[in-house]
Amino acid sequence: MKLAYWMYAGPAHIGTLRVASSFKNVHAIMHAPLGDDYFNVMRSMLERERDFTPVTTSIVDRHVLARGSQEKVVENITRKDKEEVPDLILLTPTCTSSILQEDLQNFVNRAAMESKSDVLLADVNHYRVNELQAADRTLEQIVRFYIEKAKKQNNLSVTKTVKPSVNILGMFTLGFHNQHDCRELKVLLNQLGISVNEVIPEGGSVLNLKNLPQAWFNIVPYREVGLMTAVYLEKEFQMPYIDTTPMGIVQTETFIRKVADVLNQIDKNNFYDFDQYIDEQTAYVSQAAWFARSIDCQNLTNKKAVVFGDATHAVAMTKILVREMGIRVACAGTYCQHDADWFREQVWGFCDEVLITDDHTQVGDMIARIEPSAIFGTQMERHVGKRLDIPCGVISAPVHIQNFPLGYRPFLGYEGTNQIADLVYNSFTLGMEDHLLEIFGGHDSKEVITKALSTDSELNWTVEATSELNKIPGFVRGKVKRNTEKFARQNNINTISIDVMYAAKESAGA
């Protein structure tokens, strides 16, 4: 048993439901007790979805507990088949069905005989995988099913398109800025002269999955979901895939160069060279490179930041902060524990330390200890930042409704670099403001707020020291206070006078 009240990645069935409801005309039926359909609320509220979420529940109640689901699941599947006429019905197990150990596959087989739609049982185990892993697996499962079905029916189209084309794997409902990223990727590919064959699962149709092999290659923008599918398609049809996330100027360039490599390998008759495109985009479309050179960004040099999120976004963000903006990343971390090795390898050399955990208190303590000037993390880190008075830019799921902006906010591609630059810059205290505050000692005279997370104070501040403390600009005041108190405690000083403050400052070397 584990004591917890916050988790970064949700339970497995959420991943499965995200895949199901991203596809068009796919209906998911959860085998779950009453109240487990909270996914519908999230989709309807966060995504402000206009359509009914295609998820219903075959409810597990006392009767089911006593006698088994028996006809219930089959009835629910055939009922949905008639009501909604979906292409695919996906039976989704939950933590409850994991322990009931009913033969759900058997229900699926029986229901498949009676219904017009295809019926599948999502192959996910609640106790073994989390939301992201489950989504990855379910996507692969569905793709595999339809490829094999097409093979059997002999209508699999393996002929490549005449012009270069690509499948985008892993765009999702409830994904962090996925819709904007998808649009940005399409623009990018279009400008490279590459057409998009299929985007799955968001907005895709399972009936079109048989067309996947027509594309020249696959791209997997986010590491968490889509890789399994890409690997399967590579094995089955020798389709190459690119799993570099085009986030930040350098990574976008790497991504485009990889695209060129793949195209040149496939098409020997043409030579694909995107160097000029990269130069133009970097110089004129993306403002991020120029921004990094501008004097405003100088003030960010060597400022301390902490990065935490899913593997894709945390890695990309760490690299952007260090390579493109000259910011020091004191700690980079991820909650994708299943992908820890890859993460470590990627951020090696870019940060002082690495934190792999899904325990939010560990992340909070790390932030309190490091006291960065800014945090780039999930909604949880945003709240830690609020409490410690440290600004935070949200770069990864888990997310709230404000991470589903109406305006165009991609994180990928060249427009993405602009968005990220804004996010980073606005998270740190603005350069000139910072400078002026330092010179004039701040202009607010608010009372000092004690920070609950790091220190509990039994130390006395003299009146002079308190007024001196109040002269320090608000946004660093808490830090100075904590440092001084730390110093006092280390030296067994009970009363903090001005002398002690300066002694502390000296010992901190700041």
Binding site, annotated residues for substrate? 431-432
- Least separation, in Å, of the C-beta of 471 and other proteins? 31
Answer yes or no whether residue 510 interacts with other proteins by CB under 8 A: no
**Could you say which of 24, 25, 44, 389 contacts other proteins (CB under 8 A)?**
44
Nearer to other proteins, 7 or 250 (CB): 7
Answer yes or no whether residue 34 interacts with other proteins by CB under 8 A: yes
Answer yes or no whether residue 59 interacts with other proteins by CB under 8 A: yes
Describe the strand order of the beta sheet including 26-32 as a list of residue ranges: 55-59, 26-32, 88-93, 118-121
Which window, 125-133, 134-142, 143-151, 423-431, contacts other proteins (CB under 8 A)? Answer: 125-133
Which parts of 10-29 interact with other proteins (CB under 8 A)? 10-11, 13-14
* CA gap 168, 305 in Å, rounded: 32
Angle between helices 463-471 and 498-508 (to 10 degrees): 50
Which window, 53-61, 148-156, 302-310, 494-502, contacts other proteins (CB under 8 A)? Answer: 53-61
Nearer to other proteins, 59 or 120 (CB): 59
**Residues facing 59 on adjacent strands:** 32
Answer yes or no whether residue 323 interacts with other proteins by CB under 8 A: no
Are 369 and 144 contacting, i.e. CB atoms less than 8 angstroms apart? no
Nearer to other proteins, 27 or 482 (CB): 27
* CA gap 253, 249 in Å, rounded: 6
- Least separation, in Å, of the C-beta of 97 and other proteins? 10
Answer yes or no whether residue 5 interacts with other proteins by CB under 8 A: yes
Are 216 and 262 contacting, i.e. CB atoms less than 8 angstroms apart? yes
Which parts of 336-395 interact with other proteins (CB under 8 A)? 380, 383, 386-387
Answer yes or no whether residue 310 interacts with other proteins by CB under 8 A: no
Are 355 and 308 contacting, i.e. CB atoms less than 8 angstroms apart? yes
Amino acid identity for residue 243 in this structure:
D
Task: Give the x-and-dash track for 60-99 against other proteins (CB under 8 A).
Answer: xxx--x----------x------x----------xxx-xx
Answer yes or no whether residue 179 interacts with other proteins by CB under 8 A: no
Answer yes or no whether residue 3 interacts with other proteins by CB under 8 A: yes
DSSP-derived 3-state class of residue 252: helix
* CA gap 147, 423 in Å, rounded: 41
**Could you say which of 16, 21, 40, 214 contacts other proteins (CB under 8 A)?**
40
DSSP labels for 370-424? H--SEEEE-HHHHHHHHHHT--EEE-SSS--GGGS-SS---SSHHHHHHHHHHHH
DSSP annotation of 282 reads I
Answer yes or no whether residue 406 interacts with other proteins by CB under 8 A: no
Answer yes or no whether residue 309 interacts with other proteins by CB under 8 A: no
* CA gap 152, 474 in Å, rounded: 69
* CA gap 259, 253 in Å, rounded: 10
Nearer to other proteins, 42 or 189 (CB): 42
Answer yes or no whether residue 284 interacts with other proteins by CB under 8 A: no
- Please give the structure tokens belonging to residue 268: 């020997």
Nearer to other proteins, 92 or 245 (CB): 92
**Which of 61, 273, 275, 296 is an active site residue?**
296
- Least separation, in Å, of the C-beta of 186 and other proteins? 24
Backbone angles phi, psi at 59, to 5 degrees: -75, 130
Answer yes or no whether residue 1 interacts with other proteins by CB under 8 A: yes
Annotated active-site residue 339? The verdict is no
Which window, 47-55, 115-123, 418-426, 501-509, contacts other proteins (CB under 8 A)? Answer: 47-55
How many residues make contact with other proteins (CB under 8 A)?
Answer: 53
**Could you say which of 128, 163, 344, 369 contacts other proteins (CB under 8 A)?**
128
Q: Closest by alpha carbon to 173, among 332, 18, 308?
A: 18
- Least separation, in Å, of the C-beta of 71 and other proteins? 13
**Could you say which of 7, 192, 266, 459 contacts other proteins (CB under 8 A)?**
7
Which window, 5-13, 164-172, 208-216, 486-494, contacts other proteins (CB under 8 A)? Answer: 5-13
- Please give the structure tokens belonging to residue 76: 């629910």
Are 184 and 416 contacting, i.e. CB atoms less than 8 angstroms apart? yes
- Angle at alpha carbon of residue 475, lines to 485 and 387, rounded to 5°: 75
**Residues facing 57 on adjacent strands:** 30
Strands (E) in 192-324, as ranges, are: 195-201, 217-219, 241-242, 304-309
Nearer to other proteins, 29 or 465 (CB): 29
Dihedral in degrees, nearest 10, Cα atoms 379, 383, 384, 385:
100
**Could you say which of 126, 186, 304, 328 contacts other proteins (CB under 8 A)?**
126
**Could you say which of 49, 267, 280, 389 contacts other proteins (CB under 8 A)?**
49
Are 15 and 131 contacting, i.e. CB atoms less than 8 angstroms apart? yes
- Angle at alpha carbon of residue 138, lines to 134 and 144, rounded to 5°: 145
User: Catalytic residue numbers?
Assistant: 296
Please give the residue ranges that form the binding site for other proteins (CB under 8 A).
1-7, 10-11, 13-14, 32-38, 40-42, 44-45, 48-53, 56-57, 59-62, 65, 76, 83, 94-96, 98-100, 126-128, 130, 380, 383, 386-387, 400
